[in-house]
Structure 1
């Protein structure tokens, strides 16, 4: 089997995908694997390959079928004993942990801590392995409410977690320490180490030390994390194979210097490496590196005929045998894709006579290209300057910062007097590296926005990468090797940008409004409002390290998934936070040609802040009212309200009438009954097909005369799920129902899409809905 384990790894992956993803890509991969074996290997090996694939198919089927819950519906649970299977994570006033029932079912435990004293008590006394008696509520995890958004429900299901448990309270007096496993002890030791770093290290250095020693990245600032991602060097902030290799090598050297025999050192590493995997967070890249290191040591010790590719393949098989669901883990995908590419290309890509810089550049090229499809699929973009960034940051981190933080951690434990001075020096270096990352990450065109590739697009991208490696093996120049991939990416980008299909998306932003209009053939990208969050002052102890941000966490990823990097017109209907609160974040991330606002709405503080930032970003801001409009080949757009320059709030919302995609649209902002009356008295005829209901379906809007004037076929209501205002109000729904108008609501259906071309279009909703399916004729 020497040299052939890679086929078994492919068989294992094929079997898993056959069970989890009954997709044409799975069958394509299986067919290509079998064809290659048929022509290159014996019939006996082909039978072994098929048997191996079927074995993993049945293993995956067992896992898939067993992935169910004993609880059938949300319910109140009394007096349940839950054991913490990980050290609880406390961020602000929120506690999160995986806990298991006596029947071994896993819950995601989420608890809102009521007081600062209780937070301090829970922080010091809760730990992995602790069992507590609790009362609480089972809650179904949320599915994604916007297209391409993170699906928390699916994420938990792949961890065999089907319910969120929200305890009424957690009393440490009701807790006892059950039998503590070695894993529990190591997790508690990890938490203690992270706490020690937070306490003793300077703030900036502490965040990097926790990441480099224990794999805890939550302490790193959002700004720094984003910059490292844009540079394509964020892997340096996570414990990876490179870190494990350096640590294992250092441990081996120290043990030898201490006089231990090679035999004893190898057995020591067999024990130390799995323990360190748990201490560093047990993420897939770490576990992969540890398994490969142990297999490599074993092959040396017992002289097993295993190549590096064999060791890589066996580790892959063991991973999938342990948990087939790991194929969905992004860290697993990136770690094995990059490692596989580096292993395969080592023979012809890395020459012994090359200098260190050339070898580092080759490693960066291989890493960038092999990770490109995964980054495009999950994050919709990838760094164009990662090769140069790696040349700068990899030596800095591997040769200086990584050894330095380990030495500092040892000094802090032994409480040496030199620690504060040494920590201050390293902290300064870290701050300088962070500033370099921030500056480099802000370079224009440093990132290629790929958008979410389709299955076919992904196949072409992977094919372009394979062609690159084949050509490079033949010693062809780097630029010529990369040319097919560059063409594929260029065509993919052009197809996405100049698609013959347009789209209107009523984005689910909770209790607020945000509407995207993307016209066919790149004839215009417009956004009406951005949604926003009301912010209230809270005590310091309740603040999260990285609080949710609507712009950063919802709008920007959604727009990037659509391949949108530029908004031609950002229309801010009026100066309410729930309509324009995220505009500032968009200006920092996207190119915006102009912003249209209601006359004198800038007198309100929130709009004034947006206008000031637009001035700094050199974005044109224009006050407009009824009479302003534009048209192009895709459609006609006219503002029909307000009529005057006085700004008084909701009833001075910009109201846009548009005709495109075979529909007539009316976007009303938060227009209320008084404004509707003005519109009705001015326009004797104003029939539309789609009416965006004003003010989220409040009873103060959508009067019967206005509905009878516009005569819409469809009514769109943008409101937050279970919002505190009770929107949409029953009175509005009754009026719409009385007029036989089809209603679509973001609170019930998630984001609402209308996809169209020159011949017309169809509606669809992100969340399943019977009437929505009826509307689509499905």
Structure 2
């Protein structure tokens, strides 16, 4: 499968990006023929012929898809808008202050109400990705709804419940705008679970390539978006960093089963942060003019606390109307304390950098 999937992935991405990034055909040929482990001259020739033929077909396909894009039917769009409005109103009712604005941003993508100071703080610490709905947030919903399906034991019921989970997650992805990072996470979860249920042995990189190809076929312009490039570049880097590591399943299925040596989990967040940051740095540098030098501190010290605040919202979202009124103020103060702590961390890091400058 890998021998077929990799050239197909490379050709699709080349077709979408070669004009934007000024990539010539020699780089395409080099990417297709690397590595050498399975190469023979007949194979090389056949792969090149098929790849360049496919490239010609894809050019016409992109033109056709431009005039006939995939779009949602109007009743579904109305339903999605109503769902967003209801959920947003519910968050506003059961929370208050900056915490309410934060939850609407991370759960619904409504970032307009986030203060400019908070946005600048997150950017300075290299944790702006927390405010962009992505695989991190899909994982939140996967874990939330997973207890509803623990009763499924047989292969048939597990398969049926996986389909239900997928449609719930896909509906949520459409609710929040169906950004490339969200769609990638939902589809990768589906394929990873199918692979696990069938025990097929398909590698994580093949799953990521398959999803990227499907994404391109639905919307050939998607790879040109910064969201697509950052999301897939980061996930490929993370999967490579965690290859043959049990923690890989955290990225694919948002679950972990197996044995891991004591203490190794301490290094997993560092691996993930370094892999994602280093791989996406050229894109961030070119698109945004720079990246935060404090990303590791932000991701290791602040993001875990933000994650706690997201998970702490579950009782409010589920039982908000039954809880004491004063608890909303407690959550809001806890959020303000976290933001103030992050500001102090940034100030300390800046002063430390100046003292060693």
TM-score, L = length of structure 2: 0.81
Structure 1 residue matching 2:311: 3-state secondary structure: helix
- Measured after TM superposition, the shift of residue 226 of structure 1 is 1.2
Equivalent position to 1:421, from 303, 322, 326 = 326
Closer, same or farther in 2 for the Cα pair 1:40/1:286, shift >3 Å?
same
Q: Who is 2:11 aligned against?
A: 11
- Measured after TM superposition, the shift of residue 371 of structure 1 is 1.4
Closer, same or farther in 2 for the Cα pair 1:445/1:317, shift >3 Å?
farther
Q: Who is 1:239 aligned against?
A: 133
- Measured after TM superposition, the shift of residue 54 of structure 1 is 4.2
In 1, Cα distance between the equivalents of 2:328 and 2:336? Answer: 12
Q: Who is 2:46 aligned against?
A: 47
Q: Who is 2:168 aligned against?
A: 272
2:111–2:131 Cα contact (<8 Å) kept: yes
Structure 1 residue matching 2:291: 3-state secondary structure: strand
Q: Who is 1:203 aligned against?
A: 97
Structure 2: runs of 5+ lacking an equivalent:
248-259
1:224–1:437 Cα contact (<8 Å) kept: no
Is 1:343 the counterpart of 2:239? The answer is: yes
1:208–1:220 Cα contact (<8 Å) kept: yes
Once the two structures are superposed, the pairs formed by residues 495-506 of structure 1 within 5 Å of their partners are none
Closer, same or farther in 2 for the Cα pair 1:200/1:250, shift >3 Å?
closer
Q: Which has the larger radius of gyration?
A: 1
Equivalent position to 1:356, from 254, 262, 265 = 265
Measured against aligned partners, the alpha-carbon deviations of 1:489-532 in whole angstroms (never above 9, x if no partner) come to xxxxxxxxxxxxxxxxxxxxxxxxxxxxxxxxxxxxxxxxxxxx
RMSD of aligned residue pairs (Cα, Å) = 3.2
Measured against aligned partners, the alpha-carbon deviations of 1:245-275 in whole angstroms (never above 9, x if no partner) come to 2321332233216999534422321321211
1:9–1:317 Cα contact (<8 Å) kept: yes
In 1, Cα distance between the equivalents of 2:352 and 2:81? Answer: 38
Equivalent position to 2:303, from 370, 373, 394 = 394
Report how many aligned residue pairs link the two structures: 335
- Measured after TM superposition, the shift of residue 17 of structure 1 is 2.6
1:14–1:26 Cα contact (<8 Å) kept: no
In 1, Cα distance between the equivalents of 2:45 and 2:105? Answer: 44
In 1, Cα distance between the equivalents of 2:127 and 2:297? Answer: 10
1:214–1:279 Cα contact (<8 Å) kept: yes
Structure whose residues are more often strand by fraction: 1
- Measured after TM superposition, the shift of residue 234 of structure 1 is 1.2
2:121–2:343 Cα contact (<8 Å) kept: yes
Closer, same or farther in 2 for the Cα pair 1:336/1:445, shift >3 Å?
farther
Measured against aligned partners, the alpha-carbon deviations of 1:200-236 in whole angstroms (never above 9, x if no partner) come to 5212011111122212222211111111111111111
Q: Who is 1:653 aligned against?
A: none
Structure 2 residue matching 1:324: 3-state secondary structure: coil
In 1, Cα distance between the equivalents of 2:90 and 2:59? Answer: 41
- Measured after TM superposition, the shift of residue 183 of structure 1 is 4.1
1:15–1:55 Cα contact (<8 Å) kept: no
Closer, same or farther in 2 for the Cα pair 1:36/1:264, shift >3 Å?
closer
Measured against aligned partners, the alpha-carbon deviations of 1:647-691 in whole angstroms (never above 9, x if no partner) come to xxxxxxxxxxxxxxxxxxxxxxxxxxxxxxxxxxxxxxxxxxxxx
Once the two structures are superposed, the pairs formed by residues 451-530 of structure 1 within 5 Å of their partners are none
2:241–2:272 Cα contact (<8 Å) kept: no
In 2, Cα distance between the equivalents of 1:34 and 1:436? Answer: 48
Measured against aligned partners, the alpha-carbon deviations of 1:534-570 in whole angstroms (never above 9, x if no partner) come to xxxxxxxxxxxxxxxxxxxxxxxxxxxxxxxxxxxxx
In 2, Cα distance between the equivalents of 1:251 and 1:370? Answer: 32
Q: Who is 2:282 aligned against?
A: 373
Equivalent position to 1:229, from 112, 123, 138 = 123
1:385–1:446 Cα contact (<8 Å) kept: no
Measured against aligned partners, the alpha-carbon deviations of 1:401-452 in whole angstroms (never above 9, x if no partner) come to 222223322234xx2243x3332222222112222233334443899xxxxx
- Measured after TM superposition, the shift of residue 319 of structure 1 is 0.7
Structure 2 residue matching 1:245: 3-state secondary structure: helix
- Measured after TM superposition, the shift of residue 289 of structure 1 is 0.2
Q: Who is 1:219 aligned against?
A: 113
In 1, Cα distance between the equivalents of 2:44 and 2:168? Answer: 37
Q: Who is 1:540 aligned against?
A: none
- Measured after TM superposition, the shift of residue 276 of structure 1 is 1.6
In 2, Cα distance between the equivalents of 1:430 and 1:57? Answer: 54
- Measured after TM superposition, the shift of residue 64 of structure 1 is 4.5
1:360–1:391 Cα contact (<8 Å) kept: yes
In 2, Cα distance between the equivalents of 1:410 and 1:9? Answer: 42
Closer, same or farther in 2 for the Cα pair 1:250/1:53, shift >3 Å?
farther
Is 1:333 the counterpart of 2:242? The answer is: no
Q: Who is 1:444 aligned against?
A: 350
Larger RCO, structure (CA 8 Å, separation 6 or more): 2
In 2, Cα distance between the equivalents of 1:22 and 1:391? Answer: 33
Closer, same or farther in 2 for the Cα pair 1:441/1:258, shift >3 Å?
same
Q: Who is 1:314 aligned against?
A: 210
Q: Who is 1:293 aligned against?
A: 189
Closer, same or farther in 2 for the Cα pair 1:378/1:28, shift >3 Å?
farther
TM-score, L = length of structure 1: 0.40
In 1, Cα distance between the equivalents of 2:199 and 2:153? Answer: 24
1:240–1:289 Cα contact (<8 Å) kept: yes
Equivalent position to 1:409, from 301, 317, 323 = 317
Closer, same or farther in 2 for the Cα pair 1:287/1:258, shift >3 Å?
same
In 2, Cα distance between the equivalents of 1:252 and 1:40? Answer: 41
Structure 1: runs of 5+ lacking an equivalent:
69-103, 106-128, 130-178, 448-778
- Measured after TM superposition, the shift of residue 39 of structure 1 is 6.5
Closer, same or farther in 2 for the Cα pair 1:239/1:22, shift >3 Å?
closer
In 2, Cα distance between the equivalents of 1:301 and 1:222? Answer: 45
In 2, Cα distance between the equivalents of 1:56 and 1:446? Answer: 52
Closer, same or farther in 2 for the Cα pair 1:194/1:364, shift >3 Å?
same
Structure 1 residue matching 2:350: 3-state secondary structure: coil
In 1, Cα distance between the equivalents of 2:339 and 2:45? Answer: 52
